[in-house]
Amino acid sequence: MDKLQPASIEFVAYGTPYSPAFDDVYHSALGGPTQARHVFLGGNDLPRRWQGKDRFVILETGFGTGLNFLATWQAWRADPQACRRLHYISFEKFPLTGRDLAACQLAWPEFGELAAALQKRWPPLTPGMHRLHLDNDRVVLTLVFGDASTRLRWLDASVDAFFLDGFSPPKNPELWSPQFCKGLARLTAPGATLATWSVAGSVRAALTEAEFEVEKRPGPLGKRQMLVGRFRSHRPDRHVAPTDRRAIVIGAGIAGSTTAHALAAAGWRVTVLEQAAAPGHGASSNLAGMLRPLPSADDNRLSRITRAGFLAARALLAGLPEARWSPCGVLHLAREPEHEAQQRRTVEQLGWPSDLLQFVDKDEAGRRLGQTVAIGGWWFPGGGWVQPPSLCRAALAAFPERIDLHCRTMVDRIERTGTDWRALDESGRVLAEAPVLVMASGVAAPRFAQFAWLPQRSGRGQVSHLPAAGGQRLDAVVFQVGYAMPAIDGCQLIGASLSYEDDEPTERAADHGDNLARLRLTLPAFGQGLDPATLGGRVGFRPMSPDRLPIVGAVPDRSAANANTRLHNIPRLPGLWCVQGFGARGIVWSALMADLLVSRIEGEPLPLERDLVDGLDPGRFLIKAARRGEPESDEHA
């Protein structure tokens, strides 16, 4: 795990930002915006090349102060013929803090409105990919915080234009090496171009070796020459955008609702089929759920995905004012002193910003919670609770002209006819028809023939509702061996039980008693005098995957996997996708998984690294079973 280091920045002549680490300035002392437009926009023949296109993808090798991005965004906004959607991907090994970013951008009042929008959404400085949706989701900025020379291989995108704007080759050689240039070539779309201010012979040689035809051109004011290039190969586009944007989503829980929202935001017409009377009825029907990441000292796969999911969920909630949630903070207490010491070390090793993660001792923990506790733990200042049904309703209502919701609609089976998928009821009546169908029906998915192999099982969970007056006041969400929420509508929610092979739909007093007992290990006086038999609550059935990670992607043809099949070679059922296996983390997974799914359907740049995307792919289970030489088990169906 590489600990992310924020940029150390100084200001030199004419207020130009300077990097002591690279002994170089971020942009020319005079005419920074002019240089950005001349070199990177002009050198890639923009705006002309994006005009009339459905989408256009730009990759930049050094985000720095955001100058090139702001100049590009401004030019795109001003162009009446601009592409429908602009993707801008940028690497930055040493990102600026929000404060330094704002200070640098003060120098360009012409970008004032755009700079303010960027600064408002500037992510916490943590490693990995950060997806920012701007300009009503028409401009998508993907920031990759980390070393581009090692992280480039994890990127999945089809790039139309490259902005090569790292620090100078002698001071930052990794971003100009032959190996790195070949990595750029892997990502090229047909007709891809590049531009850079560097005309060094080593740079020209590296790009030529990577199949770019390069030539020198007159540079901007103060620089005699610049370099432009075009990719020579005529290989076909591997990420073709669909032309018929109609989709069916089965299920209006948190997975289906956020997926329908993301599809609609991308311009799709979506029919949502839900068997219940309203969205968010099944496993997404709880009064509230917890929103927080899950750190680990080695920043493992689960840690990376939950962090990205947490930030994506926060961004989605910020854009849905009708969704009920509270950033009251989440306190994750240690189980015992050894665990407390481990939590403290994890915070030190990760080095995340304090507005994302802190370690607090028992006194500070008690102050933040509003109750005395016996041990310290992790404090997530931006965490809190979310009401899932309200999120489902808000997501589906955001695009009324593009989302057609049908509740009390039971889908009996699905079938493919020609190029379309059909959803049919028990009588064979066609409920909806579209070229794309997304299964997001939670525990019900394996009853469909195309998902009978899915290694997902149902986890029964029961939460308990305590009258707020009968519990204790909590100022934040608390979790240890159980969890409790602050009062919501006169009720305190605690939980939650988990049992498998258990299809009992009604509440059990014994489970209410267990929920109370777990909370009393944290707060001994919690709910004193309450009889579990008198409590109410809810029972839900969570779709659990074997590895506790979501199951998101194109649905494989299960008959095609064998011991020699690699994940990317598994044949897929055309147009059939799934968003499944959220388990107890539907709130933290939902926005990110919806973005991932829609990006894959659209052939757009992905919001996660390739190793994480592969770790979520439904085909991973077929590969594992084939390599074990075992038949697929039915035990999870």
Kindly report the CATH number assigned to the domain that includes residue 403.
Answer: 3.50.50.60
Q: Are residues 103 and 190 in the same domain?
A: yes
Say which amino acid occupies 625: A
* Residue 316 within any structural domain of the chain: no
For residue 626, pLDDT beyond 60:
no
* Residue 306 within any structural domain of the chain: no
* Residue 293 within any structural domain of the chain: no
CB 340 within 8 A of CB 359: no
For residue 631, pLDDT beyond 60:
no
For residue 281, pLDDT beyond 60:
yes
Q: Convert the pLDDT of each residue in 484-502 to its tens digit.
A: 999 999 899 998 889 998 8
Q: Are residues 574 and 491 in the same domain?
A: no
For residue 54, pLDDT beyond 50:
yes
Q: Are residues 449 and 558 in the same domain?
A: yes
Q: For residue 149, what is the domain's CATH number? A: 3.40.50.150
For residue 630, pLDDT beyond 70:
no
* Residue 65 within any structural domain of the chain: yes
CB 371 within 8 A of CB 474: yes
Residue 587, token pair as written in the block: 């709130």
Q: Convert the pLDDT of each residue in 572-618 to its tens digit.
A: 999 999 999 999 899 999 999 999 999 999 999 999 999 999 999 99
Q: What is the tally of structural domains in the chain? A: 4
Residue 539, token pair as written in the block: 């029972």
pLDDT at 501: 87
CA pair distance 77, 56, nearest whole angstrom: 14
Looking at 357, 381, 405, which one is the last position of a domain? 381
CA pair distance 579, 581, nearest whole angstrom: 7
Which ranges in 88-200 belong to alpha helices (H)? 98-105, 112-121, 148-151, 178-186
CB 488 within 8 A of CB 288: yes
Q: Are residues 602 and 495 in the same domain?
A: no
For residue 19, pLDDT beyond 80:
no
Q: Convert the pLDDT of each residue in 356-371 to its tens digit.
A: 999 999 999 999 999 9
Q: Quick one: pLDDT band at residue 632, thresholds 50, 70, 90?
A: very low
pLDDT at 209: 95
* Residue 312 within any structural domain of the chain: no
What lies within 8 Å, CB to CB, of 637 at 6+ separation is 446, 452, 453, 454, 455, 456, 457
CA pair distance 79, 64, nearest whole angstrom: 25
Q: Are residues 115 and 187 in the same domain?
A: yes
Q: Quick one: pLDDT band at residue 628, thresholds 50, 70, 90?
A: very low
* Residue 315 within any structural domain of the chain: no
Q: Are residues 497 and 531 in the same domain?
A: yes
Q: For residue 501, what is the domain's CATH number? A: 3.30.9.10
**Strand pairing partners for 272?**
249, 405
pLDDT at 30: 59
Q: Are residues 131 and 190 in the same domain?
A: yes
Q: Are residues 592 and 448 in the same domain?
A: yes
Region for residue 251 given its phi and psi (left: phi exceeds 0; alpha: psi -120 to 50; beta: otherwise): left
CA pair distance 130, 125, nearest whole angstrom: 10
Region for residue 198 given its phi and psi (left: phi exceeds 0; alpha: psi -120 to 50; beta: otherwise): beta
- Reference 583, options 323, 209, 254; nearest CA is 254
* Residue 511 within any structural domain of the chain: yes
Mean pLDDT, the chain, whole residue set: 91
Q: Quick one: pLDDT band at residue 470, thresholds 50, 70, 90?
A: low
Q: Are residues 400 and 515 in the same domain?
A: no
| Mean pLDDT value of segment 249-270 | 97
**DSSP class per residue in 392-411:** HHHHHHT-TTTEEEE-S---
pLDDT at 629: 40
Q: What are phi and psi of 139, to 5 degrees?
A: -120, 125
CB 272 within 8 A of CB 262: no
Q: Quick one: pLDDT band at residue 636, thresholds 50, 70, 90?
A: very low
Alpha-carbon distance values, 261 to 204, 224, 257 (Å): 45, 49, 6
pLDDT at 29: 54
Q: Are residues 411 and 503 in the same domain?
A: no
For residue 90, pLDDT beyond 60:
yes
| Mean pLDDT value of segment 52-77 | 96
Domain residues for 498? 458-475+482-541
Distance of CA 598 to the CA centre of its chain: 11
pLDDT at 233: 79
- Reference 301, options 550, 622, 555, 569; nearest CA is 550
Q: Are residues 599 and 505 in the same domain?
A: no
Q: Are residues 586 and 450 in the same domain?
A: yes
pLDDT at 635: 28
> CA 345, 351, 354, 357 torsion: positive or negative?
negative
Say which residue the tokens 């991907």 belong to. 89
* Residue 565 within any structural domain of the chain: yes
